[in-house]
Amino acid sequence: MSGTFCNPVGINYQYQHYFNGRESADPAVVLFKGEYFLFASHGGGYWVSEDLVNWEFIETDLEKQPQFRLFAPATMVLGDRLYLAHSEGGDILYSENPRDPDSWVNLGHPYVWNDPALFLDDDGKVYLFDGLSDVAPLRAARLDPDNGMALLEGPVEIFQSDKDSRGFERRGDCNEINDRNPHLEGPWMFKAGGKYYLTYAVPGTEYSAYCDGCAVSDRPMGPYRYCESSPAVYKATGFMRGSGHGCLFSDKNGNLWKMDTVSISVNHIFERRLCLFPSKIGADGELYTNTVRGDYPMRLPHAVKDPFEQADAGWHLLSLNAASGASSVLDGEHGPERAADENMKDWWSARTGDPGEWISFDLGEVMTVRALHLNFADQDTERVTGRHNGFSYRYTIEASENGADWFVLIDQKDGADDIPHAYFELEKPMRLRSFRLTNRGEIPAGGKFAVSGFRVFGQADLPAPAVPAFTAERQADGREMKVSWSPADGAEGYIVRWGIHPNERNTHWQVIGDCEAVIRCLTRGVGYYVSVDAYNRGGLTRGEKIAEV
């Protein structure tokens, strides 16, 4: 069994009826009777796992259970029952044996909600939080678990967005659009240390800057105080971009995790994936999530004592801008270099989906390879839906140490899995230089053979770079800062880290090919502490200098 995994979450992302592509979003994870259950928008069912990495799909009969066609699920465990609700005014369901998809009992709904979050307090009281609007605030209500979840109190308004103060609530891939309010959506409730933590998603699911803010209260129905550590989850840069509208939950070891929604939003605004990051409540009582290198290999959730500090496997990206070639190219917008540019929002596409189409990569020298991350894209797919299409990706990955003598490293030519984001940890490190991915079968949904990321991880034979000298300046707009640095010898990229305490610099911005970053997700009136890391294929060097802005 492998000891690592890599985001996006490796499940079958279903093709949806309303656009030519895949979607899974708005995840809700709950630990029930020793197993993790994962629900997501328009899932047509749900998943179960022992380890948060290997997921088994449980399909529902949508004629009997149409609720599983809806968006934005919410979960709660009460006694021997797992409760579930959905957005779009979805009904409340419960099951005592959710491994049986026919076991769900429908309780109806006491009022109409969007993007609900169910919550059981320590005193046995049940609450429902909801909200999905660019105008209206989030709401809270109390339900009666002894009377079919009838409404007891509320709903009352509890929290509103404020883009004029909070930069991360502005729209845009870089929070650069200030013309109208964000979509305030996807609330989730978590209790720790006697405090109630309410996470919320902004500014819109289509943006790279999709993220989660946080508010905290002494009581479930408020009043709520904005958490200055917000955004509590933020990943607007790197291969996988966007991290908002999801759930916060504890694993079997008591460690805190955040599963959220990733934006692709090229074929359609709702073209989305799922991601999993370690979280924590800091000593200051603020919520933090570690997304730094969150799309690099991470150790399995139960394999380390402190995932927030220890999840990173320590392997480095070897394939950035690797020399590439292909059997064919669809047009000038889809060259093979797109599969090595660390951006899941673009891709290489062959002219066809025929067997024999291929793409190749040359690292430039022999390196120690530990894992491969293969990400397919949907190019010119047909409008299909459901989970009974017989789709699967069939391919081989050949490798070579010298570019002349090839062998099959990964053989999926008879594969039956429809997994668009496939991660392969090698049984042992291998010294390799070149790779060739070849299509061996029919592409799902009649699409072209297309790859958004062929990523190779391991260790190059060179030292990690020194960290650069830098300056960090607050801009006239207090929601923004500019961080600039001198180039570091041997650096391929940089990571700007910041936070509201010197020892809690957990929010980050990754930079490739530049020596500055204009960061627009700050909160007016809040001070920050900033540092800059440098990295290459040989390693990452943490910046020790901390600047206050």
Determine the Cα–Cα distance for residues 345 and 321; give it in Å rounded to an integer. 16
Q: For 347, phi and psi rounded to 5 degrees?
A: -165, 160
29 Rama sector, left if φ>0, alpha if ψ -120 to 50, beta otherwise: beta
DSSP 141-169: EEEETTTTTEEEEEEEEEE---TTTBGGG
| Structural contact between residues 203 and 210, judged by C-beta atoms closer than 8 angstroms | yes
75-to-120, 132, 187, 354, 470 alpha-carbon distances in Å: 10, 18, 12, 43, 45
Determine the Cα–Cα distance for residues 530 and 473; give it in Å rounded to an integer. 10
101 Rama sector, left if φ>0, alpha if ψ -120 to 50, beta otherwise: alpha
The token duo for 542 is 């943490």
Nearest to 58 by CA among 79, 33, 40: 40
Q: What single letter denotes the amino acid at residue 489?
A: D
With a pLDDT cut of 70, the percent of the chain lying above it is 100
- Local structure of residue 339 (DSSP, 8 states): G
Determine the Cα–Cα distance for residues 85 and 71; give it in Å rounded to an integer. 10
Nearest to 376 by CA among 416, 418, 316: 418
End-to-end alpha carbon distance in the chain: 46
Per-residue model confidence as pLDDT tens digits over 36-95:
999 999 999 999 999 999 999 999 999 999 999 999 999 999 999 999 999 999 999 999
| Structural contact between residues 278 and 311, judged by C-beta atoms closer than 8 angstroms | yes
pLDDT at 170: 98
The token duo for 16 is 């949806």
Q: For 41, phi and psi rounded to 5 degrees?
A: -55, 140
Per-residue model confidence as pLDDT tens digits over 314-357:
999 999 999 999 999 998 889 999 999 999 999 999 999 999 99
Per-residue model confidence as pLDDT tens digits over 127-181:
999 999 999 999 999 999 999 999 999 999 999 999 999 999 999 999 999 999 9
What does the pLDDT average to over 389-417? 96
Question: If you count them, how many residues does the chain have?
Answer: 549
Determine the Cα–Cα distance for residues 73 and 85; give it in Å rounded to an integer. 6
The token duo for 431 is 């010294």
Q: In what order do the strands lie in the sheet with 81-85?
A: 74-78, 81-85, 93-95, 105-106
| Structural contact between residues 445 and 367, judged by C-beta atoms closer than 8 angstroms | no
Determine the Cα–Cα distance for residues 228 and 248; give it in Å rounded to an integer. 18
Q: Which of 17-21, 144-148, 377-381 has the lowest mean pLDDT?
A: 17-21
Beta-bridge mates of residue 400? 406, 434
Does 1 have pLDDT greater than 50? no
What SS3 class is residue 265? coil
What does the pLDDT average to over 476-491? 97
Q: What single letter denotes the amino acid at residue 537?
A: R
115 Rama sector, left if φ>0, alpha if ψ -120 to 50, beta otherwise: left
Per-residue model confidence as pLDDT tens digits over 89-124:
999 999 999 999 999 999 999 999 999 999 999 999
Determine the Cα–Cα distance for residues 371 and 164; give it in Å rounded to an integer. 44
Determine the Cα–Cα distance for residues 56 and 180; give it in Å rounded to an integer. 41
315-to-166, 167, 305, 460, 543 alpha-carbon distances in Å: 34, 33, 19, 10, 18
- 213: Cβ–Cβ under 8 A, 6 or more apart, which residues? 166, 168, 169, 199, 200, 201, 202, 226, 227, 230, 231, 232
Per-residue model confidence as pLDDT tens digits over 432-483:
999 999 999 999 999 999 999 999 999 999 999 999 999 999 999 999 999 9
Per-residue model confidence as pLDDT tens digits over 223-282:
999 999 999 999 999 999 999 999 999 999 999 999 999 999 999 999 999 999 999 999
511-to-58, 279, 492 alpha-carbon distances in Å: 40, 23, 9
What does the pLDDT average to over 16-22? 91
Determine the Cα–Cα distance for residues 542 and 366; give it in Å rounded to an integer. 26
What does the pLDDT average to over 208-220? 98
| Structural contact between residues 187 and 198, judged by C-beta atoms closer than 8 angstroms | yes
Beta-bridge mates of residue 182? none
Mind listing the domains of the chain with CATH numbers?
4-310 (2.115.10.20), 316-459 (2.60.120.260), 470-548 (2.60.40.10)
Please report which helix (H) or strand (E) contains residue 213, including its range.
Answer: strand 211-217
| Structural contact between residues 77 and 120, judged by C-beta atoms closer than 8 angstroms | yes
- Maximum alpha-carbon separation in the chain: 72
